[in-house]
Structure 1
């Protein structure tokens, strides 16, 4: 087996269900042993003094993979805290929580991917490990045969979710400036956990006084029988929108399987995800402290930039990939540029006040605090983003790169667009873009009312193309212009772009 095929950015990920599934219990055991040894070296301790916490989401392969990874850690000589069901953000929080504080942790999850996938995320005190560490772990694991090695370290079941839940409750009380037992009395919240690990959030809401009628899919079920647990999924968002309207709730919240991503639905059933979610949390933070810089990924809308500026902030577009935006926000803060938030349109969000941890549940908790305050004023969360200008049309097209060296081929295509834009009178290169090429257009006599972004995918041989227009027909105009520039480009399949242009 090619172990490197299990590497997915800074995670391990692969099919874990079925006869020929590459992510087996053996692989998990080897990775557990490799990680224990890596952590021992990293913290400068004998492996027998190292403790590793392990948790999982609701996937059907989760219990077996957790058990195997725990045995691998134990066989290396380290001790294990078995958290059972947990969330990805909680697996980091345990490292800095008194009474737990393992030297490292492992989360068994594949985020929003189908039931047959699973994976492993690794955490140290500094945060999630980078891709080079995952590569090192896979290389080490591929050389191990731990099955005949006896268990050495202890394996202790010790749930962390109750502690994490109390941390969220404390944030709500602090945010509302109260220590009363039920600070959310009068607020009606619908929780949709998508049968992932986040069902306990409904219990938290109820314990704090909120009404949770209409909450759905709270029980863990690794087959995900109701909808894909993904805040970007159309069916998932339609489901919670309908639930909120059906029961007349103040808002709805939805999580992905491991709760590092989330979205919100307003009282009228309107989805608050992607650009709207970024605008909402930006408005809350900038209302508290104007002048801050909001770091996002590259595919955010031009309307969002204006919205952030109007609220007194600076919008800093960076590369796709939640680790990229988080690392850039941390870097900017170190340089003296105050950035309270790093957020992707996918829903990955990290707040400085929360250790720049990618935590969808913490983000929702901050929104719940503001929703309660607005409720007392007779307003809803949606009122904060009433002035967000949204595009009339938007589209994403993925262009496959057929050349063997896909990165070089993709860079050649992007450079071709840049060279053309530099010479074209009506193509404006975005001065604040930091990934691929972003071109704005003056459509139908307007100014800066359409744009496209062409970039190279973080992992795949693909050029994603995002297009937005503030005028009807603008997307087709821009796609047609781009096709003329790329028509004879080599090493790229232009079929999706040609089809989109022909649809006009």
Structure 2
């Protein structure tokens, strides 16, 4: 293994994955060493093989192959899954009960790549539960090759993955639906047809060609500009619903029959209500950026809502601790007990299709039930240092001190304002030099005014 500076390693080993610029921060040599370190770590826990998948980015196949070589050199057998959605890798990790690695930078631009890691059973690996140890190895170097190197083999699990997902959702008797899908040139172009096969669904595809350069728009549907093509596509095709996926297809965004976005909070509340009909009194997770609508709907339907910080590793851990049946994030990550507590964009899509397909109302009417407040969406301000982010956050807290009912510091700060349901959250990104703002208020006018006031302090 190659020795590296602590600063270089800490720049790419994030809270719950490894992510950086290809070649300058993340290259084949680092991927190889990360594979060796991960293999040693998992070997100590009894693992005998690792599954490795990758997305359609130009850099992904070579990085995944280097990781596999490193893991095999360290004595671990490796099964290469080839082109894979992240949740497809989780499926393999869960069903085969083996650790996994996925090469993707999700929604980040083409110049980035990364590694998402999990333990056997798709259990999360975060900075606190393994990534810090891998970072230490990347800094120190010196891991020796095993006396008995592992093997590298290949497997195609796409059809089995699709069958598995369909078996988790009540799709019996759904009415025929026309579904517009924007794959964003990402992995959904491969996985959506495999998952939807055999259902009474007519797919209206958009950007299904796998292309890691993202020639049409970034594969980040959280940014409203990247939903515009799908919104138009829904209206042009007369689709009953529109679905948009990020680059590795582990997130799903919904557009109604009029082409209007359905917030991830509304989707979380919708699926939560459906789960509570099946599991009365169950626990459901939501992160601190979700709308207040989510815990309200959960309570209205007899469930227990548990609030958690942002990030898939944290959500997955809380899912297991609380034995929750379902969890949702504002960023359109959705987690399922039946799916190893892992997140799946395609499984979320099937649940929404089940709700719509069994209803006698269009999507806009269904979604309206779960839309009680106005939200800003996530607004990012670029601040290069942690100190700058803290200074701006403190300045906002000072500006709102006379209107603050409470401040929660579970993840950044969440401020509940006095005498109103309105609240806002400020938190640093775990992957980029950004301070993220979310605002919610009873009306759009109040939300817009509050957002403008906070941004003036942050960017002033």
TM-score scaled to structure 2, two decimals? Answer: 0.85
* Alpha carbons of structure 1 residues 121 and 481: separation in structure 2 relative to 1, 3 Å: closer
Q: CA deviation at 1:471?
A: 4.0
Q: CA deviation at 1:138?
A: 2.7
Q: CA deviation at 1:382?
A: 3.7
Q: CA deviation at 1:268?
A: 2.2
- Aligned to 1:120, the other structure's residue is in SS state strand
In 2, the alpha carbon distance for the partners of 1:306 and 1:96 equals 32
In 1, the alpha carbon distance for the partners of 2:380 and 2:175 equals 47
Match of 1:344 among 326, 329, 333: 329
Q: CA deviation at 1:263?
A: 1.4
In 2, the alpha carbon distance for the partners of 1:324 and 1:121 equals 14
- Give the aligned partner of residue 217 of structure 2: 227
Match of 2:37 among 34, 38, 47: 34
Question: Larger deviation: 60-69 or 286-295?
Answer: 286-295
Q: CA deviation at 1:308?
A: 3.8
Asked whether the equivalents of residues 235 and 257 of structure 2 are also in contact (C-alpha less than 8 Å), the reply is yes
Asked whether the equivalents of residues 436 and 456 of structure 1 are also in contact (C-alpha less than 8 Å), the reply is no
In 2, the alpha carbon distance for the partners of 1:200 and 1:372 equals 23
Matches within 5 A, 1:2-401: 2-17=8-23, 21-43=24-46, 50-97=48-95, 101=96, 103-126=98-121, 127-132=123-128, 133-144=130-141, 152-172=149-169, 175-177=170-172, 186-204=176-194, 207-333=197-323, 339-374=324-359, 378-392=360-374, 394=376
C-alpha deviations, 1:404-436, integer Å up to 9, x for none?
A: 756876786687579x4xxx4x54337998862
Question: Larger deviation: 128-137 or 388-397?
Answer: 388-397
How many residue pairs match? The answer is: 452
Asked whether the equivalents of residues 392 and 469 of structure 1 are also in contact (C-alpha less than 8 Å), the reply is yes
In 2, the alpha carbon distance for the partners of 1:114 and 1:210 equals 35
- Aligned to 2:206, the other structure's residue is in SS state coil
* Alpha carbons of structure 1 residues 64 and 366: separation in structure 2 relative to 1, 3 Å: same
Q: CA deviation at 1:243?
A: 1.5
Name which structure has the greater RCO, CA cutoff 8 Å, separation 6+.
2
* Alpha carbons of structure 1 residues 316 and 95: separation in structure 2 relative to 1, 3 Å: closer
- Structure 1 residue runs of 5 or longer lacking an equivalent are 178-182, 334-338, 443-447, 484-492, 499-504
Question: Larger deviation: 351-360 or 295-304?
Answer: 295-304
C-alpha deviations, 1:373-421, integer Å up to 9, x for none?
A: 22xxx32344333233444563655567788756876786687579x4x
Match of 2:405 among 402, 412, 428: 428
Larger radius of gyration: 1
Q: CA deviation at 1:200?
A: 3.1
Question: Larger deviation: 306-315 or 118-127?
Answer: 306-315
Residue 474, structure 1, aligned to residue 450, structure 2:
no
In 2, the alpha carbon distance for the partners of 1:106 and 1:440 equals 42
Asked whether the equivalents of residues 29 and 146 of structure 1 are also in contact (C-alpha less than 8 Å), the reply is no
- Supply the RMSD in Å over aligned alpha carbons: 3.4
Asked whether the equivalents of residues 266 and 371 of structure 2 are also in contact (C-alpha less than 8 Å), the reply is no
- Aligned to 1:214, the other structure's residue is in SS state strand
Q: CA deviation at 1:358?
A: 1.6
Asked whether the equivalents of residues 71 and 150 of structure 2 are also in contact (C-alpha less than 8 Å), the reply is yes
Q: CA deviation at 1:55?
A: 0.6
Asked whether the equivalents of residues 399 and 494 of structure 1 are also in contact (C-alpha less than 8 Å), the reply is no
In 2, the alpha carbon distance for the partners of 1:24 and 1:305 equals 43
Asked whether the equivalents of residues 105 and 122 of structure 1 are also in contact (C-alpha less than 8 Å), the reply is yes
In 2, the alpha carbon distance for the partners of 1:247 and 1:253 equals 13
In 2, the alpha carbon distance for the partners of 1:265 and 1:393 equals 16
Asked whether the equivalents of residues 7 and 13 of structure 1 are also in contact (C-alpha less than 8 Å), the reply is yes
* Alpha carbons of structure 1 residues 454 and 264: separation in structure 2 relative to 1, 3 Å: closer
